[in-house]
Every structure is written in C-alpha cells, then in structure tokens.
Amino acid sequence: MLRLLVMSCLVISAQATIIDRLAITVGRQVITESQLDEELRVTAFLNRRPISRGADERRAAADRLVAQLLVEGEMQLSHYPFPDANDINNYLEQVKAGFDGESRFDEALAADDLTEATLRQHLALQLTTLRFIEYRFRPDVGISDSDIESYYDRETAAWRAGHPGAAPPTLAQSKESIRKTLVQERTDEALDTWLEKSRKRVDIVYLDKSLQ
C-alpha cells in the first residue's frame, strides 16, 4: 500500500522525472515534501522574513500541516461552515494592504517562489482553522471577574518589581485587555488539548523521521 502511495506522488515531465516524496501520512491523507517546503515559503512571506529550512522550522511547519488536516476533518464531520470566497478575498486584501502597493506585493511573492493562487490556498486554510476555533472553543470560554483580578494582582506585582516607585495601570484600565489575554490563553489550551487527543485517534506516520 505504501508503495502505491509513493508511486501516486510521482510527477513526470517531458524533460525529467521529479519525485515529490511523502513526508507524513495522516490517516488516509498525505503531506509531501513539496507541501512542507511551500508552507515554509508562505510562512516566510507572511512574516516578512527570509526562508528558513532548519530542522526546527521544518518540524513546526509539519505540525501546522498535520493540525490543518485534523481541523479540516473535524469541520467536515461536525458540518461547520467553511470560509467562503468573500472571506478569503477580504483576508487576501488585508495581506496585500501590508505592502507598499501591488507591485511590491508581487515582487515579494516572486522572491519566495509563490503565486497569488498558492497564497490564497494557504490563507483559506488559516481561515478554516480560525473559524474552527471560534465555533468549537470560544463559546465555552468563561472569564470571571475573580479571574481578571487574580491575573491583575500577579501582573501588578511583577510590574512594580520592574518599575519601583511608579504607579501601575488601574484594574479598570487593564480589565478589557486582561480579559482578551485570558480568553486567548484558555482558547490556546483548549485547542492544544483537542489536537493532542485528535492525534491519538489518527494513525500519523512520519516517513521523514527528522520531522518527529
């Protein structure tokens, strides 16, 4: 079966045979080395940083791709609505707005060997993950006033240690930002727990052992 999977990833051109090796299998789905490299290039593009193909960056990219497959599967199973074309277009326009004009955007894409269509596909996956988080975890996040006060007390103590003699922001001034921080922290924890459980329910095989 593995031999058949590998053979299915062969891409033959008129001049040469290019082998797109399998990197990871996630149940019946696969992640190839070219998909992994594409993820590295898109990440570099969005972060405005040089492309890095180090071991840590490759493992992080592999984790993201595995997580995206797990999220997509859960979205389909639970019948959550996927982002539509307008959502993706708006997200793409936000990315473009961060560049100094359309030509600079196109130049940056070309520098990382990307196309707008490829970037759009990756943005759609990111939006899918964000939408899944909203539907699955956000409604269950409850932050009480006592949670906010406890966080404020801890942060204020640390702030005073670093700013002797200065008055820290008041609780009233900090309340909304603390609430957002706590919501994000608890959402991240819930997502990490869900991903850990989901990984155990699916047969994930790292054919590229350096990605484990």
Residue 166 is predicted with a pLDDT of: 79
CB 210 within 8 A of CB 25: no
Task: Pull the structure tokens for residue 126.
Answer: 């990111």
Residue-level pLDDT at 17: 39
Query: Low-confidence residues of the chain, pLDDT below 70?
Result: 1-19, 139-141
Q: Which CATH architecture has domain 36-194?
A: Orthogonal Bundle (1.10)
pLDDT, position 11: 36
- The H or E element that residue 32 is part of is strand 29-32
Return all residues near 40 (Cβ < 8 A) that are at least 6 apart: 51, 52, 53, 57, 58, 61
Where do the structural domains in the chain lie, given as residue ranges?
36-194
Any idea which residue has 């539509």 for tokens? 84
Alpha carbon distances (Å) from 157 to 37, 161, 178: 44, 6, 15
From the CA atom positions of the chain, what is the Rg in Å? 22
φ and ψ at residue 136, rounded to 5 degrees: -85, -35
